Amino acid sequence: MRVSRLYTSAVLNIGKQIELDEDNAHYVRTVLRLKKDAEIILFNGTGGEYHCRIIEVSRKAVVIDINHWDERSVESSLVVHLGLGISRGDRMDFSVQKVVELGVNVITPLVTERCQVQFKGEKKSQRWIHWQKIVQHAAEQSARTQLPDLLEIDNLSQWVTQQQGLKVFLDPYAEQCLADLERPTQVTLLVGPEGGFSDAEREVAKTAGFIPVRMGARILRTETAALAALSAVQVLWGDFGNGHTPK
């Protein structure tokens, strides 16, 4: 029987008991419908996971007894930072969820010239919190023990000047593909929003050292492009297809 996994920001120590926060308590009580003495796995995103037992489930509290720590990891040796042009609604949510499953380490949502999302008032911070929850749930589902970093929303022109490692951006008109590039240990991927990058943005990226690459002969939607790029770099330089076994 599969044991449910939950992310928590709480400090976890073997032999201690913790009370789950309101959101996690609601999830355990109402969605999972777990009872007293049920097993559950907690992780706080810093590596490894804690095997626990539920000792109280009530309207007031869900209390967890932390039994032992398992030093396991499903992380790829390839470090991937994704600069993701912000797209509308479900497209962005889908992309964030899936790139976490595919092993991304850092995500920066980017405002670009053709970004169709407007951030007014508190909307910017609200969207960031929304995406952070998606990151957490995707890490729970995909058995990751390290939580990818979701950085603050940034502007493309500023972000491209601050990146390291092999830097590439997806461009359907590029002459090179990923397989033409030398094997890196760290890669920064830049993926545009609906409508792609403007000519000016392409030049800004190239000036900052980003290499334009194509993903085949077809034009990909923004949410498809991000997933295709993550999958491709994991196949070429990461842990896809190498017989990696979680530790």
DSSP per-residue letters across 19-76: EPPHHHHHIIIIII---TT-EEEEE-SBSSEEEEEEEEE-SS-EEEEEEEEE------
Domains in the chain: boundaries: 5-70, 79-237
Per-residue pLDDT of the chain (247 residues; tens, 9 = 90+): 689 999 999 999 999 999 999 999 999 999 999 999 999 999 999 889 999 999 999 999 999 999 999 998 899 999 999 999 998 878 999 999 999 999 999 999 999 988 777 777 788 889 999 999 999 999 999 999 999 999 999 999 999 999 999 999 999 889 999 999 999 999 999 998 888 889 999 999 999 999 999 998 888 888 899 999 999 999 999 998 664 444 4
Which DSSP helix (H) or strand (E) runs through 111? strand 106-111
CATH class entry, domain 5-70: mainly beta
88, 117 Cβ separation under 8 angstroms = yes
Q: Give the pLDDT confidence score for residue 205 in this predicted structure.
A: 95
The pTM is what?
Answer: 0.89
Amino acid residing at 131:
W
Please tell me the distance from the alpha carbon of residue 51 to that of residue 84, in angstroms, as a whole number.
34
The answer to whether residues 18 and 10 touch, using CB atoms and an 8 Å cutoff, is: yes
Using the structure block, give the residue that is written with the tokens 């590029």. Answer: 174
Note the CATH architecture for domain 79-237: 3-Layer(aba) Sandwich (3.40)
CB atoms within 10 A of CB 70: 12
Q: Given this model, what pLDDT does residue 1 score?
A: 66
∠ Cα 93 95 96 (to 5°):
65
Instruction: Say if residues 32 and 13 touch (Cβ distance below 8 Å).
Output: no
How high is the pLDDT of residue 243? 47
